Each structure stands twice: as C-alpha cells, then as structure tokens.
Amino acid sequence: MRKSRALNLGTGLFVLLGFAALFFLTTQTTSHGLSFGSEPYYVVTAKFRDIGDLKVGAPVSMAGVQVGRVAAIGFDSQDFKAVVTMRIDDKFNQIPTDSSANIYTQGLLGGQYIGLSPGGAETYLKNHGEITFTNSALVLEKLIGQFLANFNKSSSTSGSSGGSPK
C-alpha cells in the first residue's frame, strides 16, 4: 500500500507540473491569455484609404502607449475603403472625437500599428464611435513610384508627399 501511495504522489506531481506548463504556455508566452474575463473595452471604427499590411490583433497606441488592439478589418464597398474596428481599453475613455488615426510601421521591418493623435474637441469618443480623420499606411512602392513620376515630369506641384526633387 505504501508503494502505491508514493506512486500516486509521483503521478499527481507529474500531472500538476504538466498543467502548470500548459498554463505557462497559454498565459506567459502569449498576450491574450493574461486577461481572463476580458477587460472592459469599447469599440471604435475608422475608415482608411489604404491599410497596407495592418493585421487583426495589431496594437493601437497613443503617444506610444498601447490603448487597444485592432479587432476586425472589413471593406466598405460603397466608398472602397478599409473599415478597421478597434477595441480600446475602457481606462482610456477620454479620447477627443476629432482625434486622427494613422498607420505606422514598427521599426524598419516590423509590423504595422495604429497611432492615435489627440484632437482638441471637448467631447470624447463613445462606443461604436467613428474616427473621421485618418491617414493611410505609407506603402514604400507607391512612394517610390510617385517619386519617380515626379522626377520624370520634373514638375514639383503634383501634391504628393513623396518629396519633390529640386
């Protein structure tokens, strides 16, 4: 009987350790598992002309601090724009309605994220609100294309942000 108790103890310890490892993998290596009941959040949408390489789950940040995540990416067939749905943490519920959303790139080869720049309005974004001022992702190929087009025509007033060569 004593032998079987030691055996059960070993089995129990092994199973506990195994589940502890599973728990570690799901909570510590990923960012999703940490919040169990999912923190309270509100949803904001924004329409972009071009979202480049933005992915679902990409961070939404303000002044470099992460305030939420991209929850869904859709397409509006009326005005041919990408509709990005963002989940913003309830802690950050004082974002002015006239804030603008921009798509930036992390580092040279990093993924893309949404940066919010605050506006000056007194009213704040509510659940299912929309950010109207948006700037598209900077797509490198387009930029080079514009630059080359400008360079060939050597007309400096094409209204592009690609830099006009002198």
Partner 1 sequence: MIRDFLDSLSESIERLGDTVRFLARILAQVPSALLRPQLIFDQIYNAGALSLVIIMLSGLFVGMVLGLQGYDLLQRFGSEDALGTAAAIGLVRELGPVVTALLFAGRAGTALASEIGLMRATDQLSAMEMMAVDPVRRVVVPRFVGGVIAMPLLAAIFSMIGIYGAQLVGVQVMHVDAGSFWSQMQASVELRDVNEGIVKSVVFGIACSLIAVYQGYHSEPTAEGVGTATTRTVVTSAVIVLFLDYLITAFFLK
* Residues of the shown chain interacting with partner 1 in the complex, contacts defined by CB under 8 A: 4, 7-8, 10-11, 13-15, 17-19, 21-22, 24-26, 28-33, 57, 59, 107, 109
| Nearest approach, Cβ of residue 1 and partner 1 (Å) | 12
| Nearest approach, Cβ of residue 89 and partner 1 (Å) | 16
Residue nearer to partner 1 on the CB measure, 4 or 157: 4
Residue nearer to partner 1 on the CB measure, 65 or 109: 109
What are phi and psi for residue 141, nearest 5 degrees?
Answer: -60, -40
Cα separation, 23 vs 19, whole angstroms = 6
| Nearest approach, Cβ of residue 30 and partner 1 (Å) | 5
Report DSSP letters for 95-118, one per residue. -BTT-EEEEEESTTT--EEEEEE-
| Nearest approach, Cβ of residue 151 and partner 1 (Å) | 31
Residues facing 136 on adjacent strands: none
Q: What secondary structure letter does DSSP report for 53?
A: T
Residue nearer to partner 1 on the CB measure, 59 or 68: 59
Sheet holding 112-117, edge to edge: 129-131, 41-48, 81-89, 65-76, 59-62, 112-117, 100-105, 133-135
Residue nearer to partner 1 on the CB measure, 14 or 124: 14
Cα separation, 67 vs 38, whole angstroms = 14
Residue nearer to partner 1 on the CB measure, 22 or 121: 22
| Nearest approach, Cβ of residue 67 and partner 1 (Å) | 15
